[in-house]
Amino acid sequence: MAFSEQQEVLVKEAWEIMKPNLPQLSLRFFTTILEIAPAAKNMFSFLKDSEEIPKNNPKLKVHAVKVFKMTCESAVQLREMGKVVVAETTLRYLGSVHLKKGVLDPHFEVVKEALLRTVREAVGDNKWSEEMRGAWSVAYDHLAEAIKAEMKAEA
């Protein structure tokens, strides 16, 4: 099924609402990841040795914002080109980082769920809809598939 202009609009609309609040949303995103999968804590260098989720850690923010932003970029690419195109070097890097950290397919589902909950909280119930959820899901799934394929190619 093609990614529609309306779906692209829904992803971008949420992203615009999220942008001014990235430090707080990054924290919510990681809190949600650990609520769903507490064991994921040990994977992240910035979580492993601390009792609480650090509030101002640049690495935490980088990961969260990359997931938000790359999903948004994927939505644009899906609409324009019908597929997600991550630059070759970026994809190779993403593949190797995640492979080295021991990330497995089910972890991508955890991150997806945390992403969807974070977007929902960010936009609020007035703007959140099944269509918005669907648009973010499809964009994320295509991005995750690209990273997973690279991880398999490298393994």
Binding residues for ligand HEM, rule: CB under 6 A, are 40, 43-46, 59, 62-63, 66-67, 70, 94, 97-98, 101, 103, 107-108, 111, 143-144, 147
Residue whose CB is less far from ligand HEM, 67 or 138: 67
* Minimum distance of ligand HEM from residue 72's CB (angstroms): 11
Contacts of 72 (CB under 8 A, 6+ apart): 11, 12, 15, 139
Give CA separation, 11 vs 80, 122, 128, 149, in Å. Answer: 14, 12, 11, 24
Residue whose CB is less far from ligand HEM, 106 or 124: 106
Residue whose CB is less far from ligand HEM, 10 or 86: 86
Query: What are the phi and psi torsion angles at 96 (to 5°)?
Result: -70, -40
Residue whose CB is less far from ligand HEM, 63 or 126: 63
Which residue, chain included where needed, has tokens 């260098």?
45
Residue whose CB is less far from ligand HEM, 44 or 128: 44
Neighbours of 40 (CB within 10 A): 17
Q: Are 137 and 113 within 8 A, CB to CB?
A: no
Would you state the structure tokens that stand for residue 44, as one six-digit string? 């992240």
* Minimum distance of ligand HEM from residue 128's CB (angstroms): 21
